Structure 1
Amino acid sequence: MDFTNVSLVALRVFREVAERGTFTAAATALGYTQSAVSRQIASIERAAQAPLLERRREGVRLTPAGQVVLRNAARILDQLDTTARELAGLPADGGTVRLGWFPSAGAVLVPKAIAALRRSHPAITVTTREGSTPALVRALRAGSVDLALLASAPPFRPPDAESPALDVQVLIERALCLAVPAGHPLAAGDSIAFADLRGQRWIAGPASGEDKLMGVWPGLDERPEIAHTARDWLAKLHLVAAGAGITTVSPSLEAAAPPGVRILPVHGGPQELRRIALAHLPGPLPPPTTHLADALRATVTTG
């Protein structure tokens, strides 16, 4: 095998396909045609003398050889980015950290952590992206993000089955709550009885994939009435404020709730737990990434 003629463009395309999960999504992200992406992947597979991607109906999966190539491609591309920073004369104690985060973390947690980091380490630049758990895990594997904030529900499983296993640290585990209009009968007390959730109108996320009925209390023993569908958590909270329905939320969103919304715990039924975890590839983290991880950890702990 001979990698001497493999271009940097091909490496970037390969990383994008590994991260996005399909040739089509990678082509869209890069502004390429799908045939151009296919040609770049073919050039790397010729150099490797082995298939690097397993083509499936739902997308692509890295082969063992593909995992080796991706790991080294990500290292090469990151080294080139570091070289560019040094040539640009950027501060030695600075650096760029790429953070991925789950929907709703951008309402309070991520902005507060970045603000704290800017005060303590102003030379560090943070770039972020929102995504689902599978998308963020692929981005970690592809080297496109350095850290990922992940949210998970029982049963708590590893974020993927690939090797090596990701380094995952649970930052906090808290019970799910309900957001209800301040004038709603459910808002009369300091908590809500599980039995009173029957017959309510719900504001939920799109019913697809892992986000199926996100916003409806899990384990409800009836077919829920979905009054409104919204993916954005702040949109859901404003719909609650308008009296349009109720929705599940993390307690961390209380600081972002608009006037007219109460966020309350539920009692009398099965407790629904949610975890927030910080994930990264195994191995020591560079100082800028460690500083951001510390800021996220402190923000979660202090609320």
Structure 2
Amino acid sequence: MDFTDVSLTALRVFRAVAEQGTFTSAAVSLGYTQSAVSRQIASIERAADAELLERRRDGVRLTPAGRIVLRRATVVLDEIEATARELSGLPEQAGTVRLGWLPSVGAVLLPRALAALRRSDPGLRVVGREGTTPALARALRAGSLDLALLASAPPFRPPDTETPPLALRTLTERPLRLAVPAGHPLARADSVDVADLRGQRWIASASSGDDRLLGVWPGLDERPEITHTARDWLAKLHLVAAGCGLTTLPATMASAAPPGVRVLPVHGGPQETRRLFLARLPGPPAEPVTRVAAALRAAALDLETSAAPS
């Protein structure tokens, strides 16, 4: 076993594969060919004299040896980036927190938390990106995120099966809601019976890769008629306002609904609850991470207490 000849490129490629979950996605994110990614992974596995990635149909998964290498690689890469910043005269990033979030969180909860942080802690910098729950969980494992806002539906399984388990803290747990055009017959009442959702037209996100079909009420006993597909939640809501169909949305997004949309509870059938939680790697968090987590918890509590009863 000899790591003296392992290049920084190989370490970056290994971290990208661990985060993206497939060689193909890592190649796209890095601007490399898939064969180049494969060669870099082969070189680091030769140096480790061990298999670092378990190849599976649905992508790759870190082996125990891979988790060790990833942990050390993340430290090395972070130190190299810090050195480059110091040499170039850029300010230190000790007050930077890397945050990942789901698309639905970016519409209401995240802006509230960041606005509060700018007032209370202007020296703290939050950077990050949007993603799916599986992708954000992988980014936490890869060390490229410090915190992530993830979602779960019953039976509320952990976001991944890796060890050690991620540290999770629930922010909100509320029933799923239905967005209906204001002129739709279903909008005349204060709630919707699940039986009345049969035969409706839906606006949903495409179902592929990590993503489930979001926007159609779960458990319908028919093949749904999807009139429009959109990944962006606000685009879905504006399509609802235009009378193009119905869509589901988390209760915390109700305040983001534009004019022309009624947000209603659905009764009958199983309770469709959705849980939003903060996730991070286990262990004591850095102090800036603690401050960001506190701001997110406060914003979630504010949404819970200010939401009008449905």
In the alignment, the residues of structure 1 paired with residue 255 and residue 4 of structure 2 have an alpha-carbon distance, to the nearest angstrom, of 54
The answer for the alignment partner of 2:306 in structure 1 is none
In the alignment, the residues of structure 2 paired with residue 153 and residue 210 of structure 1 have an alpha-carbon distance, to the nearest angstrom, of 15
Give the Å deviation of 1:91: 6.3
Task: Report SS of the residue matched to 1:211.
Answer: coil
Letter in 2 for 1:219: G
The answer for the alignment partner of 1:133 in structure 2 is 133
Give the Å deviation of 1:162: 0.8
Evaluate the alpha carbon distance shift between residue 125 and residue 85 of structure 1 in structure 2; reply closer, same or farther with a 3 A threshold: farther
Give the Å deviation of 1:212: 3.4
**TM-score of the pair, normalised by structure 2:** 0.91
1:142-153 alignment runs, 5 A limit: 142-153=142-153
1:175-254 alignment runs, 5 A limit: 175-209=175-209, 211-254=211-254
Give the Å deviation of 1:85: 5.2
Unmatched runs of 5 consecutive residues or more in structure 1:
none
Of 165-174 and 187-196, the range deviating more from structure 2: 187-196
The answer for the alignment partner of 1:12 in structure 2 is 12
In the alignment, the residues of structure 2 paired with residue 104 and residue 269 of structure 1 have an alpha-carbon distance, to the nearest angstrom, of 24
The answer for the alignment partner of 1:276 in structure 2 is 276
Unmatched runs of 5 consecutive residues or more in structure 2:
304-310
Evaluate the alpha carbon distance shift between residue 201 and residue 174 of structure 1 in structure 2; reply closer, same or farther with a 3 A threshold: same
1:1-303 alignment runs, 5 A limit: 1-84=1-84, 88=89, 90=91, 95-209=95-209, 211-303=211-303
Evaluate the alpha carbon distance shift between residue 168 and residue 241 of structure 1 in structure 2; reply closer, same or farther with a 3 A threshold: same
Q: Is the 8 A contact 2:23 2:37 kept in 1?
A: yes
**TM-score of the pair, normalised by structure 1:** 0.93
Give the Å deviation of 1:240: 0.4
Q: Is the 8 A contact 1:91 1:123 kept in 2?
A: no
Deviations 1:98-141 (A, max 9, x none): 11111211111112211111111111211121111111111111
Letter in 2 for 1:120: S
Task: Report SS of the residue matched to 2:107.
Answer: coil
RMSD: 1.8
Letter in 1 for 2:48: A
In the alignment, the residues of structure 2 paired with residue 60 and residue 195 of structure 1 have an alpha-carbon distance, to the nearest angstrom, of 41
In the alignment, the residues of structure 1 paired with residue 247 and residue 20 of structure 2 have an alpha-carbon distance, to the nearest angstrom, of 30
In the alignment, the residues of structure 2 paired with residue 164 and residue 84 of structure 1 have an alpha-carbon distance, to the nearest angstrom, of 32
Give the Å deviation of 1:228: 1.7
Evaluate the alpha carbon distance shift between residue 91 and residue 104 of structure 1 in structure 2; reply closer, same or farther with a 3 A threshold: same
Task: Report SS of the residue matched to 1:154.
Answer: coil
Q: Is the 8 A contact 1:169 1:279 kept in 2?
A: yes
Letter in 2 for 1:90: P
- Percent of aligned pairs sharing the same letter: 71
